[in-house]
Chains A and B, each alone.
Chain A
């Protein structure tokens, strides 16, 4: 006969909804501010996350990969003498179980290039074009032609370096490197093509040669790095450990080690996301609390009446909390829908090329594409519910403490 819980729940719900509706103008303003706050947090966080991931993409994409493996002493003195042997089958077997976009082996050593007129210090990168679909190399705009294969004995320069050397496609240049015996070796290369890059630094300092051809010139079968790119934008949780266990004799370097400044920025962005969330929600909590205190004060008599007739303190408390939860729940739904709409509009990214100079300095892509990180969104959802409880608790306790006699006195 008695269905105590459901009958009380329906009472609380009816009272909450109607009391909210009674002050619809005030509560609509409150709802709109909740929607705006949630949308602001979700959209801005998505932009910040997009920017953050693009920063990582850039490093990973730029001939680094997520993880690069070297001989242990290579990084202190990059030379072919500090390389290691490439065992294609072993690498394939070890990397097979990882979720990779691909891997590439390279030689990266310092060199000096000379034209008839100029001399410049550069980094020569010996690569196999067939493996480079995981790096920026595959997408560089090329004038002339790129290396046909690993054995191609020509060379590709950046546009800025070509200008500095005052030479042309098809001409020859001389490259001086240290060979496997630490002897200087001069090799003449024909310029196959010129690439353009967003980064002038790269155009000036990075030149490409065939890996096999370079090994022949240097009298060595070594490579200096194995570069790995995962199928995900970030390294999967145990990816680094798994790779370093597979290659115990090599040094494992992830993108954070390769670019410590960027890694620091990346971590700072994490903190920024949460600080920003905390600021917005703290501001919101006071707005909410104020509204619900007002709501309790203007209903003093009604609350007193309910209590005098025998409404339990817990129900008085739930009633105020329920009002807050309803507003926050609607605000959450509205905010997430609006965020979705705004992100849909921003899907192509926001063009920052007007600020290109600053953007390049910060190593950012000229267009920011928002990235929705579900963990951030779920934190917003949890924070909203938490906020609804926190903001209504004090007003609810005030309602509970009302003396029904004083409340009823006219």
Chain B
């Protein structure tokens, strides 16, 4: 039996109060298995980001439970959730990903510094990952001088460098053209197959969905379809 790494049971997320409340997610139950490359798809406003944030321990459900590796996130303190994100998860966001005051390589090293690696270890690991993703050329460029595609690739390098169990990417290709989107998806696929890292990405782009081996369809905060892609 394949190992379930992340499990959601009857997760509901309601924003706001009373009159203005929005049911962003309603009664979502699903589990992610180790090694999967999953896409969460659906139109804008259907709850993809909300779901991803709850999975990534960035947000807490109004009701329902989330388990990572058999541990309930509900029972963890803020600090423990912060540590969990740092040590087990990698994040790639839609638009704003890099700290503008740092160079590309420093943005990658950032995670290793938070993790407390020594200088030499940080530098060699950073080199290694930039090398693997073909980003050595832009390593010393300020983050603000990178193209959109380069920024997203650096963000992926940063998400990977700490060797997380899970990588979350929320519409990583939203600001990219189709060529750059393809390159990005190939990269995610390569990470998934070569490094065995579980990848969960939200997208409304069928092109991205095509690369993944499972897609979960959301509509108005409910799972309407969950299927494997051959």
B-contacting residues of A (Cβ < 8 Å)?
1-8, 10-11, 14-15, 18-19, 21-22, 301-302, 305-313, 315, 404-405, 408, 410
Which residues on B sit within 8 Å (CB–CB) of A310?
82-87, 89, 111, 114
List the B side residues contacting A2 at CB < 8 Å.
115-118
How many Å lie between the Cα of A256 and that of B94 in the bound state? 75
Number of residues from B at the complex interface, CB < 8 A: 37
Interface contact A309-B86, CB-CB below 8 Å: yes
CB distance from A305 to the nearest CB of B (A): 6
Q: Are A405 and B87 in contact (CB under 8 A)?
A: no
Residues of A within 8 A of B117 (CB): 1-3, 7
Quote the shortest CB–CB distance from A71 to chain B (angstroms). Answer: 76
Residues of B within 8 A of A4 (CB): 116
B67-82 contact mask (Cβ, 8 Å, vs A): 1 or 0: 0000000000011001
> B185 contacts the other chain (Cβ, under 8 Å)?
no
Q: How far is the CB of A318 from chain B (nearest CB, A)?
A: 13
CA distance A253 to B131 in the complex (A): 84
Known: A310-B82, A310-B85, A313-B82. A8 touches B116 (CB 8 A): yes
Q: Which residues of A contact B91 (CB under 8 A)?
A: 308-309
Contact of B106 among A14, A22, A315, A410 (CB under 8 A): A14
Min CB distance A326 to B, Å, is: 14
- Nearest CB on A from B81, distance (A): 9
Q: Across the interface, do A405 and B96 meet the contact criterion of CB distance under 8 Å?
A: no
CB within 8 Å of A: which B44-97 residues: 53, 56, 58-59, 78-79, 82-87, 89, 91, 93-97
Knowing A18-B102, A410-B96 are in contact, say whether A309-B116 is a contact too (CB < 8 A): no
Chain A contacts for B116, CB-based, 8 A: 2-5, 7-8
Instruction: Find B101's partner among A1, A7, A19 (CB 8 Å cutoff).
Output: A19
B93 cross-chain contacts in A, Cβ below 8 A:
305, 308, 408
**Do B114 and A305 touch across chains, with their CB atoms under 8 A apart?**
no
B134 an interface residue at 8 Å Cβ cutoff?
no
CB < 8 Å neighbour of A307 from B82, B110, B158: B82
* Beyond known contacts A302-B100, A310-B86: 20 more, CB 8 A cutoff: A1-B117, A2-B116, A7-B117, A7-B119, A8-B113, A8-B114, A11-B114, A14-B106, A15-B99, A22-B101, A307-B82, A308-B85, A308-B91, A308-B93, A309-B86, A309-B91, A310-B114, A313-B78, A405-B53, A410-B96
Q: Which 5 A-B pairs have the closest CB atoms?
A: A310-B86, A4-B116, A18-B101, A11-B113, A310-B85
Closest Cβ neighbor of B101 among chain A residues: A18
Chain B positions within 8 Å of A404 at CB level: 58
Closest residue of chain A to B78, judged by CB?
A: A313
Q: How far is the CB of A303 from chain B (nearest CB, A)?
A: 10
Q: Is the CB of B118 within 8 A of A302?
A: no
Please name the residue on chain A nearest to B88 by beta carbon. A310
Annotate B137-160 by CB proximity to A: 1 below 8 A, 0 otherwise.
Answer: 000000000000000000000100
On chain A, the residues within 8 Å of B58 by CB distance are 308, 404-405
CA distance A308 to B81 in the complex (A): 10
Complex Cα distance, B114 from A306, in Å, reads 10
Shortest CB-to-CB span from A322 to chain B, Å, is: 14
Tell which of A4, A18, A305, A405 has the most Cβ of chain B within 10 Å.
A305
